[in-house]
Structure 1
Amino acid sequence: MNSGKSNSLALVLVAIFVIAASYFVMSGGSEPVNNLPAIEDAPGDTPVISAADQLSSLGDAAPDSINIARTSTNTSNNDIDDIFADRIGGTISGKVVDENGKSIVGATVSLNQRYNAGELMRGYQAGARFQATSDRNGEFIFAGLAAGINMNMWVHHDDFAPKQGAPFAALEDESQTLPPTILSAGYSVSGKATDRGGNPLQATVELMMQPSDAFRQGSTEEILAQDIASGRHVTVMADGNGEFYIGKLAEGFWILRASYDGFATAEIRPIMLLNGKNADGQKVVLPDEFTISGIVLDEQQMPIADAKIGVARTSPRPTLTGSATTNQQGEFTVRGLQEGSYGLSAQASGYTNGRAGRVNAGAANVEIVMQVMGSVSGRVSASTGQSISTFQLEILRTRRGNQQYGLTGQRYKFDQTDGTFELPDLAPGSYILLGRAEGYAPTYSSSFSVGRTKVEGIDILLKAGGVIKGTIVDGAGHPVSSAVISVHGEDFTLDSNDTLFGSVIGDPNNMPQMKTRSNSKGEFTLANVVPGALTLQVEHSEHLDELITSMSSSGTTTNLGRIIIYQGGSVHGVASDKNGNRLSGGTVTVTTPNGSFFHRTITLDAKGRYRISGLAAGTYNIIVAAAENENVFMFPSEADKKSIYVNVGQDLELNLQTSE
């Protein structure tokens, strides 16, 4: 069971606000360029691990375990990961069957880490994705996953409709067997494509599933390839009578798009495949085609080749989209458009995004001007003047009237003998760099402004920081292991963790992130802490958070002695549906009734169990939600909400049941 103090997947009602705020924080930052080595994902994240060839090696024994190789992580973590994923969980096993309970061989079981908005704002470039294939008994096993990290599951087989499996979080000290994933024939969509005169068209018909999670990982091309492989994006050709049929579709919301050369593309959205009801008899009428043509130029009026053009209709509704790519002369034509007014955007490597608004369909001389991006260069060295060859840089924005730096999600690592660096493709704006290297305290550069030329001489001098030690004990004086001790600025408060975004927006004093865990004796050591006034936060799943003010001095060790944390209240139990069946993979969320953003959400384990600990004394609302298909928005019923009072040190047992 996983508890997240700043991650509540149940707050669907504020999803639009989350997306808008995420865009505001991230806007303006360029993507890491290909010729620079981006920092690896947070420790423990690994690329796709395919197990497609495991069937040939299986005997009649249990399925092979797909062991996730993980980079060993230090308990002292300076890699700016919000997920402190240094502990390995127990195995996760399951089975794929059909509606008659017969084992399905060769189903692809894919896991994707479930991200929240804050973690994406921290610049995660790709989620951890793992794959296994069900054996002759329909079984699969994953091992080596990080404990406490929420994972989504998607199961796909060519002979069945794909389906969302039970979400889960690996438990550190216990293996889990998930309930069987039952595949069926699924849903179907059928209909006819015609022109406005009713004449049939052998149109290309696409169905695209709409995920409920707004934050998807990877490039547009990568996401499309994943969706096609997993049955989320399906394409067919209408026959000579314009008729089409698509079967084996998963439950959820879909978009239907039909296109035919010489006609405008038409869409139907949403197509709802829910409650066992197919969507037959769709009538898709393709109107007359409009185009938008133009040219993309730089500031010197030179053409820009291979720029990606995107268009979106702003009026009338509904929104319709199109795309094109400029040729060597910078020219483009977007085809398949319906009548209306459109906004255009242009993207090209090395240039800021270009835009053109309120362009009417049929326009032929649209001109989009893109500006060359700037760059920054400098050198990282020790305060002694010695070059530092291996280092990491994070790009942050500075904003007028706001002392808190803005996150761009751009982090890079370098291995340069002379300590030099160059970061190209920076959009115009004001920035600051954060440098990190082993054995030194994280250090900021001077701030600088980027225009359309290179900014040189942004050097960073790193020096050793201070050392802070201590021992974490409980109210009885017993050592507390696995407590997380993190470094914050002097203005940090516990309220920072209980907002909608938690502390992931950044530290109020721009303190670089650093944290560690206490060992079995409760002892901890934080090395190379930034000199100056600071606040330490101590967190433990069973105890109340504690803040300690301290000072760090370069080359000096500060021993804080014993730090006492007190046991909080907790609530635990089993969640089930209205028929008494255990809710594997559902969620339980605790909030306060006073309107604050305080919330903690856990994922129910394979047996429907939950535990939420470390609660301060007070009144809370608690609500359970079943693990429905993630592509269907399901709002928990108010009838399922309960009010509880928790005392410090109390372990309240409360079994939960959904009304639906």
Structure 2
Amino acid sequence: MKSLLVLVIVIAAAGALFFALKLAEDGGTTATGGLGPEAVAPTEDDPQPPPAELRGPDSGSGRDIATPAQVGETPTARAGLNEGFDNALAGSVQNERGAPVVGATIVLGRASLSTLVFVNDPVDRTGERRTKTDAQGAFAFEQVEPFESYSLTVKHADYSKAELEGVTVGAEGRFEQPPIVMMGGVTLRGYVRDVTGGAVPDATLHLDSMFYAMNEATEHDHTTASDASGYYEFTNLDPGNKALSVAAEGFGNAFINGLTFDSGKPAFERDVTLEVAEMICGRVFDTTQTPIEGANVVAIAYSNSTQQCRDAAVTDAKGEFCLQALNAGKYTLAVKKPGYKAINNVRADTGSINVVIEMSPQASVSGTVISLASGEPLTSFTCILRQTYENHPATSQTKIKRDFRSRDGSYRLTDVPPGNYVVEARAKGFAGSYSDPFRVDQGGVVKGVMVRMTSGGSISGVVVDGAGNPVGRARITTHDNTWTDSEFDRMMGDMMPTNASKAQVTTAADGSFTLSNLMPETYQIRVKSGAHCEFIKQEILVSEGGDTSVGTIELMAGGTISGVVLDATGQAVAGSRVDLRVNGRTSGIPRFYQARSNASGKYVLANISPGSYRLNAMPPRAGRGGGDFLLDMGDLQQNQKTINVADGKRLTIELKIGGN
């Protein structure tokens, strides 16, 4: 049932992406009617909230609404880690000649497929870490949170961008990566001219990934300007698909998507012709005819050509805007403003100076957060709007999340689209707790939605090694009972339907642990320790006010696989990705291990759970924009080996890639 629900969410996200690309036809420009939102009245016998008020667009209530928390004051119900991680991620950067690259910027992040599927959302970079290479080209990140699939992105002005994916960091030890090689990249050059063939100097040109136009990014990947002859040049570009935007005073903007750069060709040429600019002007109002200030208005003209025109403006205090860098023609206008329903179907011709656009306000949800035990309001908490589904108990977190400091426990969430929801509240010392479900209609106001906070339940146990000795500093994390830690699950992130609390702790010196303030649900826990294979336990039922003991958890050292990756000539291959996957179907959670060969072509996969696996290697080019997908798949099939791993045993296996 849950897999079907996840599929529905993914299809909905894909549909949203399609309509973002095409500026869907059905974005209305007027407020919808109806009787307004509905809410299910609370049924508890403890102090009751006022009944949810069902009204139209917000006319104000005079209620003392909570103020958002200040930056750095985010409350949390997540169990904290007792100690830092005794580990390091290290490596070096060099050029094709083997010389160290000094001053390269290294970014450690968790970018995943979600940045592609949910491309309309801004990429979350809050967890990224950055450093620079030293005089020897070396870099290191200390005390890194363990994770199986980090990415390393390397940038330097004299080289094209380099990326290393699938970087694994465990809880303990030093995780040395193979040298990252930076190469001179592709060059894009050409001339910017007007329709008569004359040079356009001082044009500003930006070159970005193909998703830039759909993403709310504020920084461009590459920027340059045309000289007096209209000539421009971008150097050291990485291979892949790009979009070029060109702007010059007095001319319509040009946007060219679908530029594909191949590392096998060192230089590409693309001339750009700009037309004399025309304009579209107008005003943006709400349903009460009040001007809307700060609305973003974007005009896009689509054509069969790869070159398009688009421009953007922000409304002033009078709600007025003017798009002044357009080519002559017909345009689709898209308008966005927090608190209002986005509009994407307004049509206008250049020369129009009185385009009137009406925006409908989004709904708001307000209420109070109290302690169920005492009936007292909470003064510091986080509220999250979660989507509910018919005939399914799981919920999904939306993007609406705010921190509050409030004397009376009140909160107010705004910019809420129509849908069925619950409000989740999180606070220190409490389990995440939900309100009763309610419905929100376009522009409505739902009030009196109360969240009663409880202490939840807990999971406890003791972690020991094979000899019965306590394992301290092992990392324990909670997950939904069906969590697989696959790339797809990571992609879904908080969108994955679940009511399970996310918590993590480390074991004490005696191996004991307690995960507290968990919402009643069926859980999976994962136990990780640097010298042992990961332990996974499912079907842990947590009840309100109870402690579920999982007893003594014995960790195995697991097996080890090591060897060398060679090419068809017998030479060692550095940076090859080595994958180990479960062979065939499994009744439990599928396990996956990954490593990269070092400068000598050697690789090590340690702490592997006993079982049957498939082992193979991928060339360093795979996934870097310069590889042949079919050739890579051929390599996989050719060098794949089926092996059996036993606890405490070590296997030495040589892998060959690129053979016939």
TM-score surpassing 0.5?
yes
Instruction: Summarize the Cα distance change of 1:558–1:655 in structure 2 as closer, same or farther, 3 Å threshold.
Output: same
Q: Which amino acid aligns with 2:145?
A: A
- On the 8 A contact 2:573/2:597 being kept in 1, the answer is no
User: Which SS does the other structure have where 1:641 is aligned?
Assistant: helix
Matched AA of 2:144 = L
Q: 2:403 aligns with which of 384, 408, 413?
A: 413
Distance (Å, rounded) in 2 between the aligned partners of 1:362 and 1:564:
75
Question: Does the aligned pair in 1 maintain the 2:523–2:539 contact within 8 Å?
Answer: yes
Greater Cα offset, 562-571 or 460-469: 562-571
1:88-125 deviation line (CA, Å, top 9, x unaligned)? 253444445555555555x2423141222569989984
Equivalent residue, structure 2, for 1:109: 105
Q: 1:500 aligns with which of 488, 492, 500?
A: 488
Gaps of 5+ in 2: 1-9, 28-65
Q: CA deviation at 1:133?
A: 3.7
Match runs of 1:282-321 below 5 Å: 282-287=270-275, 289=277, 291-318=279-306, 320=308, 321=310
Deviations 1:126-182 (A, max 9, x none): 333333344444444432333336444444444x13431545444543335555555
Paired with 1:392 and 1:498, the residues of 2 have a C-alpha distance of 28
CA distance, structure 2, for counterparts of residue 621 and residue 22 of structure 1: 38
Alpha-carbon deviations, 1:335-365, whole Å to 9, x = none? 4445665433211233232222555566555
Q: What number of residue pairs does the alignment pair up?
A: 586
Q: Does residue 162 of structure 2 align to residue 164 of structure 1? A: yes
Deviations 1:252-287 (A, max 9, x none): 443333333444333444444433533344332234
| Structure 1 gap ranges (5+) | 1-15, 29-33, 44-76
1:206-250 Cα deviation digits (max 9, x unpaired)? 24132799998xx522xx1xx4xxxx312212423x333333444
Deviation for aligned residue 1:641: 1.3
Tell me the distance in 2 between the aligned counterparts of 1:512 and 1:123.
25
Distance 1:511 1:112 in 2: 28
Asked if 1:638 is matched to 2:633, the reply is yes
1:417/1:257 Cα in 2 relative to 1: closer, same or farther (>3 Å)?
closer
Match of 1:457 in 2: 448
Distance 1:631 1:38 in 2: 42
> What letter corresponds to residue 161 of structure 1 in structure 2?
Y
C-alpha distance in 2, partners of 1:269/1:440? 50
Q: What is the alpha-carbon distance in structure 1 between the residues aligned to residue 591 and residue 331 of structure 2?
A: 41
- Residue 369 of structure 1: aligned partner: 358
Aligned partners of 1:658, 1:297: CA distance in 2, in Å?
A: 63
SS in 1 for 2:378: coil
Amino acid in structure 2 at the alignment position of 1:210: S
Structure-1 separation of matches of 2:432 and 2:170? 33
Q: How far has the Cα of 1:640 moved from its partner?
A: 1.6
d(CA) in 1 for partners of 2:330, 2:82: 48
% same residue: 22
Aligned to 1:602: 594
Which residue in the other structure is 1:202 paired with? 201
Cα distance in 1 for partners of 2:128, 2:260 equals 28
Matches within 5 A, 1:144-163: 144-148=143-147, 150-158=149-157, 160-163=158-161
Q: State the SS of the aligned residue for 1:175.
A: strand
Q: How large is the RMSD of aligned CA atoms in angstroms?
A: 4.7
Measured at CA, do residues 516 and 275 of structure 1 come closer, stay the same or move farther in structure 2, by a change above 3 Å?
Answer: same
Aligned partners of 2:574, 2:213: CA distance in 1, in Å? Answer: 25
For 2:294, the aligned partner's letter is D
The answer (yes or no) to whether the contact 1:590–1:600 under 8 Å persists in 2 is yes
Asked whether the equivalents of residues 316 and 341 of structure 1 are also in contact (C-alpha less than 8 Å), the reply is: no
Q: 2:378 aligns with which of 388, 392, 395?
A: 388
| 8 Å CA contact retained: 2:95, 2:181 | yes
For residues 616-636 of structure 1, give each alpha carbon's deviation from its aligned partner in whole angstroms, at most 9, with x where no partner exists. 745647452426685667636
Q: 1:354 to 1:512 in 2, by over 3 A?
A: same
Question: 1:659 matched to which residue of 2?
Answer: 658
Distance 1:539 1:93, change over 3 A: closer
Q: Which residue of 2 aligns with 1:36?
A: 68
Secondary structure, aligned partner of 1:640:
helix
Report Cα offsets for 1:295-347 as digits up to 9, x if no partner.
Answer: 22211122222211123344435473432222333232334445665433211
One of 254, 257, 275 as aligned partner of 1:266: 254
Q: Is 1:552 aligned to 2:543, yes or no?
A: yes
In the other structure, the counterpart of 2:438 is 448
Match of 1:437 in 2: 427
CA change 1:562–1:213 in 2 (3 A) is farther
The 8 Å contact of residues 186 and 237 in structure 2, kept in 1 or not, is answered as yes
Deviation at 1:460, TM superposition (A): 1.8
TM-score (norm 1): 0.73
1:484 aligns with 2:505: no
* Contact 2:298/2:313 (8 A) holds in 1: yes
Hey, what's the Cα distance between the residues in 2 that align with 1:339 and 1:618?
65
Contact residue 623 and residue 640 of structure 1 kept, 8 A: yes
Measured after TM superposition, the shift of residue 544 of structure 1 is 6.2
- Asked if the contact 1:468/1:552 (under 8 Å) is kept, the reply is no
Alignment correspondent of 1:53: none
Mapped partners of 1:182, 1:235: distance in 2: 26
Query: Contact between 1:192 and 1:244, CA under 8 Å: does it hold in 2?
Result: yes
